[in-house]
Amino acid sequence: MSGILSEQIAVVTGAGRGIGKAIALALGEAGAHVVCLSRTLTDIEATADALKAMGRKAWAHAVDVSDSQAAQEIAATIVKETGRVDILINNAGVTRDDLLMRMSEEAWDTVIDTNLKGAFTLCKAFTRTFMKQRQGRIINIASVVGLMGNAGQANYAASKAGLIGFTKSIAKELASRGITCNAIAPGFIETDMTAALNDAQREAIMEQIPLKRLGQVNDIAQAAVYLCGPHAGYMTGQVMTVDGGMVM
């Protein structure tokens, strides 16, 4: 079955669960073959199996994107395996929440290294491939927290704000070669993390959301499909907020 991304090769980090898994499956439904990356091999093997069940090609590789050497090596392996890469989705992310006065340097470094340096490393690793092809789509999954800040998440907000600045900068660098780079900033989405919220926390969040509900992972996945597809060919350096109206 064909689709708007028929026969394209996509790489998705953090593809084992939540938003990353939803993006990988949505790209597959749109016709792409998908390389699934995550720290945990069992999670991405399940995603890859679901893609294969659609009739897509799928690969699963365990990698810690905060390890720049490992990320560079896996990028080279992917290009050798697939022959080309058309789409890169930098979704891998972690949180280590705490108030600034109690936040450890390790908690700061872990979040910055995974959320921001991981995206830098993979974008750099695949840029030469994109430039040779004179086409490519890069999507970095940021967060509304990177636009508005959040108490107790100085490290996470800094990583996501940095990701937005990074997105805009490389969009300017790569545009002349037909490569677009955009960011998606999700609001509060129904995932394992939000499932752990208590009633009071959930109610406080709802007060901030004009649509008065949490988003679904497929809301983000379909935004990614759009940005990868032919109708978004004239969009680059943009931040698409999918947040129920939190940031206007």
The CATH number that applies at residue 58 is 3.40.50.720
Reply yes or no on whether the pLDDT at 105 is more than 70. Answer: yes
User: Residue 45 falls within a domain, yes or no?
Assistant: yes
Average pLDDT over residues 34-61: 96
Reply yes or no on whether the pLDDT at 219 is more than 70. Answer: yes
Spatial distance between the Cα atoms of 144 and 142, rounded to a whole number of angstroms:
7
Reply yes or no on whether the pLDDT at 220 is more than 80. Answer: yes
User: Residue 222 falls within a domain, yes or no?
Assistant: yes
More confident of the two residues 53 and 2: 53
User: Residue 215 falls within a domain, yes or no?
Assistant: yes
Tell me, what's the pLDDT at 195? 79
More confident of the two residues 2 and 128: 128
Question: What is the arrangement of strands in the sheet containing 58-62, beginning at the earlier edge strand?
Answer: 58-62, 33-38, 9-13, 87-90, 136-141, 179-186, 239-242
Q: Tell me whether residue 234 is one of the annotated catalytic residues.
A: no
More confident of the two residues 186 and 200: 186
User: Residue 71 falls within a domain, yes or no?
Assistant: yes
Spatial distance between the Cα atoms of 37 and 114, rounded to a whole number of angstroms:
13
CA angle 13/22/136 to nearest 5° reads 50
Tell me, what's the pLDDT at 72? 93
User: Residue 132 falls within a domain, yes or no?
Assistant: yes
Q: Which two tokens stand for residue 132?
A: 């040779």
Name the E strands within the chain.
9-13, 33-38, 58-62, 87-90, 136-141, 179-186, 239-242
More confident of the two residues 194 and 41: 41
202: confidence class by pLDDT, cuts 50, 70, 90: confident
Percentage of the residues of the chain whose pLDDT score is greater than 90: 93
Reply yes or no on whether the pLDDT at 1 is more than 60. Answer: no
Alpha carbon of residue 36 to chain centroid:
12
User: Residue 247 falls within a domain, yes or no?
Assistant: no
Alpha carbon of residue 178 to chain centroid:
21
Average pLDDT over residues 62-88: 95
User: Residue 4 falls within a domain, yes or no?
Assistant: no
197: confidence class by pLDDT, cuts 50, 70, 90: confident
pTM, two decimal places: 0.95
Reply yes or no on whether the pLDDT at 157 is more than 70. Answer: yes
194: confidence class by pLDDT, cuts 50, 70, 90: confident
Q: Write out the residue range of the structural domain in which residue 34 sits.
A: 9-241
Percentage of the residues of the chain whose pLDDT score is greater than 70: 100
Average pLDDT over residues 167-173: 98
Nearest to 112 by CA among 69, 155, 77, 81: 155
Spatial distance between the Cα atoms of 239 and 137, rounded to a whole number of angstroms:
14
User: Residue 2 falls within a domain, yes or no?
Assistant: no
101-105, 150-154, 155-159, 189-193, range with the lowest pLDDT: 189-193
Count of the separate structural domains present in the chain: 1
Q: Among the options 108, 120, 130, 156, which is catalytic?
A: 156
Tell me, what's the pLDDT at 222? 98
Residue type at 79 in one-letter notation: V
Other residues' Cβ atoms within 10 Å of the Cβ of residue 134? 10
The string of pLDDT tens digits covering residues 107-148 is 999 999 999 999 999 999 999 999 999 999 999 999 999 999
Largest CA distance in the chain: 54
